[in-house]
Amino acid sequence: MMGLFWIERGTGMPVVLLHGGFLDHTMWDDQIPVLSERHRVIAYDARGHGRSPNADGPYRLTDDLAALLRHLGTGPAVLVGVSMGAGLAVDTALEHPDLVRALVVTGAGTSEPCFEDPWTLRALAAWHGAMAAGDLEGSVEGHLTLGIGPGRDPAGLDPEVVRRLRAMARGTMSKHAVGEPNHVVPVTDTWRRIGSIRVPVLAVHGALDSPDHIAMAERLATTVAGGRSVTIENAGHYPNMERPDEYNRVLEDFLASL
């Protein structure tokens, strides 16, 4: 597990919260105390994120998660992920199905993204350009732009949510140097294999997320037998942060149905 940082709260059915790329486990601060009243909640920082160390050799995110769950003696667990965390959840259902009881995804369908929308492509290009130039603050703002969704101004959002997103992104991005090797080994052929998933799947969309992010999660939900989706209004890529009460209600209802 390479010294991954994690927290564990509560007892009951295990629920694992998987954060987005360049963020950390604190993106779930509005969920952990609520869920842990009835469930065993596990949240951790992926390698190179938050309080977990950077990688020094090849690894797969899904294998790290599997190793952590086996170390904790838990599983099958409900995997709840946003963005990178959603892709990780699906990869784990494909690669380590014995550890997965159900999936809740937002903003991704697998770890192999499909971007076609012009706004998303422009926002990604600007963000990647800032990162390649070593512009930390530009990279943080580019990440924020993708997180809040097209046509939205950070000034119109809850300032505490914006502060938290910037702080997490800045903290993780500052752990990395321009040009350092990317040691992540991808899981491949994921979209072709998603039909093999046999656990309940819920996609939770932020209505103001980019069309590509919504489409990927919806594609998963409509491909997996019995998959379904819910949309949370007035939220972008991180509905659990922007609309925590509504997100928690949707998640709790799903967990109660298992």
* Amino acid 179: pLDDT: 87
Backbone φ and ψ of 147, nearest 5°: -75, -35
Assess whether 190 and 249 both reside in one domain: yes
Q: What is the DSSP letter of 110?
A: S
Cis amide bond preceding 76, omega within 30: yes
98 domain-assigned: yes
Q: How many domains does the chain contain in total?
A: 2
Q: Which helix (H) or strand (E) holds 44?
A: strand 40-44
219 domain-assigned: yes
226 domain-assigned: yes
* Amino acid 2: pLDDT: 64
Tens digit of each residue's pLDDT, the chain (258 residues):
568 999 999 999 999 999 999 999 999 999 999 999 999 999 999 999 999 999 999 999 999 999 999 999 998 999 999 999 999 999 999 999 999 999 999 999 999 999 999 999 999 999 999 999 999 999 999 999 999 999 999 999 999 999 999 999 999 999 999 989 999 999 999 999 999 999 999 999 999 999 999 999 999 999 999 999 999 999 999 999 999 999 999 999 999 999
Sheet holding 100-106, edge to edge: 6-9, 40-44, 14-18, 77-82, 100-106, 201-206, 228-232
By residue range, what is the domain housing residue 143? 118-173
Its pTM surpasses 0.85: yes
Instruction: Give the contacts of 133 (CB within 8 A, at least 6 positions apart).
Output: 178
Assess whether 93 and 140 both reside in one domain: no
Assess whether 141 and 251 both reside in one domain: no
State the Cα angle at 144 between 9 and 170, rounded to 5°.
65
Sort 138 into a burial class: Cβ within 10 Å, 0-12 / 13-18 / 19+: middle
25 domain-assigned: yes
Assess whether 165 and 205 both reside in one domain: no
Question: Which CATH number fits the domain that encloses residue 186?
Answer: 3.40.50.1820
Assess whether 97 and 67 both reside in one domain: yes
Assess whether 201 and 106 both reside in one domain: yes
* Amino acid 1: pLDDT: 56
Assess whether 95 and 127 both reside in one domain: no
* Amino acid 208: pLDDT: 98
Assess whether 150 and 248 both reside in one domain: no
Assess whether 48 and 67 both reside in one domain: yes
1 domain-assigned: no
For the record, the structure tokens of 47 come out as: 């390698």
